[in-house]
Amino acid sequence: AKRDPNQTEFLEAIDNFFKTIVPVLEKHPEYIKTNLLGRITEPERGIQFRVPWVNDNGDVQVNRGFRVQFNGAIGPYKGGLRFHPTVNLSIVKFLGFEQVFKNSLTGLPIGGGKGGSDFNPKGKSDAEVMRFCQSFMTELQRHIGPDLDVPAGDIGVGGREIGFLYGQYRRLKGYQAGVLTGKGLSFGGSLARTEATGFGLLYYTEALLAADNDDLNGKKIKVSGAGNVAIYAIQKATELGATVLTASDSNGFVYDPNGIDYKVVQQIKEVERGRISDYAKRVETAEYHEGSVWDFDVDYDIALPCATQNEITGERAERLAKNGAKVVASGANMPSTPEAVASYKKHNILLGPAKAANAGGVAVSALEMSQNSERLGWTFEEVDNRLKKIMQNIFAESKAAADEYDLGKDYLAGANIAGFNKVADAMMAQGII
Ligand code: NDP
């Protein structure tokens, strides 16, 4: 903390993480003796660079680019690029640190990294975004590669940006499909990547319920968000026999006691780029309300926050308990505030942490790398089946870790411990690294 007093997000992430792995450290004095914690919290490498580009008016702009290669003990660095005005070194380090353990949990050979820029793609023309991406990649290409570091998308970096970044990489270094993931299907992308995080969230939730001899059939679910994660969470939840009561965006939410139809949401959000209020204009049984879906009283069983960070506050968590919810599985990253997490504990509400429950996206990204390496594309079913097994395994390992340390159903601590164990083992075996 003394070295990086301004890196509040990063310091908070470390603090929260270490609190949950104390029992592991007590069992392994060699981790303390070899200063494993000092090493694991220091990124292996961080690159910060200038990104100059010219806007449509001919003005020269300068943004800041980052790539933090946090930990490569178990495989090439892997993690998204975020383009958003709030991006700084602290945010990139916080996300990179979390990514190390999320990737470890998938059981696939991928290390952790993260990167991005304070560039804001909102309101920019396609040509401006392309010029920015080309300039960004002109520097980044020196530091990445299919066996070294494989970036993907995150906030502000979708299919369009990945296409521009990949195109520039190929011009500079030649064909290397496996250098980025989230690519278009015509140039090495994987089937089922679009659905992966939402589907994976439901496979994880199914496994969590199965541990208590329960299932999704007949369950009532509140989903927040109407984006990539939410749409495919709604689809899979419905296929598994649940009724999804809500979907939302940053203005308001729709409630339909008969169940939200994901195809209508998909049409509105993915095709028409409209608002969730349009849903109620099309589906008679649905009603639209302004405000947060978490401030709306209705009885339900499971909460799937799939919109954004800190959307469930302590107060909203109390309401969630009053409405009868027994499970919260995190589709979004960090959707619950620390007060909300404390409230879940108080009410014995089971929490599926983001690191575990939303790992389906990065897992399928790693499957995209495998397909690129063997120069083959797998069918949708094959990718989906593998995703399901990976999510079941993530839950099983988190539960086993929680059981081993007598933590009951604290699947947050379980996921942190399971993710940490593998990285720690690999680092110890590789000497003082
Ligand atoms: P999208 O941008 O596709 O969708 C986000 C949705 O959340 C939109 O409907 C958006 O509404 C809504 N939203 C944003 N801010 C708020 C807010 N303050 N209050 C209510 N709703 C809000 O993003 P994704 O679905 O890809 O990502 C959602 C979350 O999941 C993020 O936390 C992301 O980091 C995480 N995640 C995503 C993965 C993926 O593979 N996509 C993988 C792992 C995690 P609006 O249109 O009004 O902005």
Answer yes or no: is pLDDT of 3 > 90. Answer: no
Answer yes or no: is pLDDT of 257 > 90. Answer: yes
Residues with Cβ within 8 Å of 156's Cβ and at least 6 positions away in sequence, in order, are 82, 83, 84, 116, 119, 120, 121, 122
Question: What is the pLDDT, as a whole number, of residue 47?
Answer: 97
Q: How many CA atoms lie within 13 A of 312 on its CB side?
A: 33
Question: What is the pLDDT, as a whole number, of residue 375?
Answer: 96
- Partners of 253 in beta bridges: 248, 289
Residues with Cβ within 8 Å of 199's Cβ and at least 6 positions away in sequence, in order, are 192, 232, 233, 235, 236, 360, 384, 387, 388
Question: What is the pLDDT, as a whole number, of residue 1?
Answer: 67
Catalytic hit among 114, 222, 355, 399: 114
Among 374, 333, 365, which residue's Cα sits nearest to residue 182?
365
Cβ–Cβ under 8 Å, residues 344 and 317: yes
Question: What is the pLDDT, as a whole number, of residue 419?
Answer: 98
179-215 residue pLDDT tens: 999 999 999 999 999 999 999 999 999 999 999 999 9
Please state whether the predicted TM-score (pTM) of the whole model is above 0.90.
yes
pLDDT-derived band of residue 307, with 50, 70 and 90 as boundaries?
A: very high
pLDDT-derived band of residue 122, with 50, 70 and 90 as boundaries?
A: confident
Average pLDDT over residues 239-264: 98
Average pLDDT over residues 284-289: 98
78 has binding-site annotation = yes
Other beta carbons within 10 angstroms of residue 423's beta carbon come to: 21
Answer yes or no: is pLDDT of 4 > 90. Answer: no
Quick check: CB of 333 below 6 Å from ligand 1? Answer: yes
Answer yes or no: is pLDDT of 2 > 80. Answer: no
Q: Among residues of the chain, what percentage have pLDDT more than 90?
A: 96
Distance between alpha carbon 42 and the CA centroid of its chain, in Å? 22
347-401 residue pLDDT tens: 999 999 999 999 999 999 999 999 999 999 999 999 999 999 999 999 999 999 9
Quick check: CB of 312 below 6 Å from ligand 1? Answer: no
Q: What string of H, E and C letters represents the secondary structure of the chain? A: CCCCCCCHHHHHHHHHHHHHCHHHHHHCHHHHHCCHHHHHCCCCEEEEEEEEEECCCCCEEEEEEEEEEEECCCCCEEEEEEECCCCCHHHHHHHHHHHHHHHHHCCCCCEEEEEEECCCCCCCCHHHHHHHHHHHHHHHCCCCECCCEEEECECCECHHHHHHHHHHHHHHHCCCHHHCCCCCHHHCCCCCHHHHHHHHHHHHHHHHHHCCCCCCCCCEEEEECCCHHHHHHHHHHHHCCCEEEEEECCCEEEECCCCCCHHHHHHHHHHCCCCCHHHHHHCCCCEEEECCHHHCCCCCCEEEECCCCCCECHHHHHHHHHCCCCEEECCCCCCECHHHHHHHHHCCCEEECHHHHCCHHHHHHHHHHHHHHHCCCCCHHHHHHHHHHHHHHHHHHHHHHHHHCCCCCCHHHHHHHHHHHHHHHHHHHCCCC
Quick check: CB of 330 below 6 Å from ligand 1? Answer: no
197 has binding-site annotation = yes
Average pLDDT over residues 226-244: 97
153 has binding-site annotation = yes
- In order of start, what are the domains of the chain with their CATH numbers? 42-182 (3.40.50.10860), 194-352 (3.40.50.720)
Quick check: CB of 228 below 6 Å from ligand 1? Answer: yes
Q: Which atom of ligand 1 is nearest to the CA of 251?
A: 47
326 has binding-site annotation = no
Question: What is the pLDDT, as a whole number, of residue 129?
Answer: 98
Quick check: CB of 156 below 6 Å from ligand 1? Answer: no
Question: What is the pLDDT, as a whole number, of residue 5?
Answer: 87
Quick check: CB of 332 below 6 Å from ligand 1? Answer: yes
pLDDT-derived band of residue 95, with 50, 70 and 90 as boundaries?
A: very high
28-71 residue pLDDT tens: 999 999 999 999 999 999 999 999 999 999 999 999 999 999 99
Ligand 1 center–CA 376 separation, angstroms: 31
Across all residues in the chain, what is the average pLDDT? 97
CA Rg value for the chain:
21
- Nearest-CA residue for ligand 1 atom 4 is 227
313-329 residue pLDDT tens: 999 999 999 999 999 99
Ligand 1 center–CA 305 separation, angstroms: 9
Mutate to test the pocket of ligand 1, among 99, 181, 228 (most ligand atoms within 8 A of CB): 228
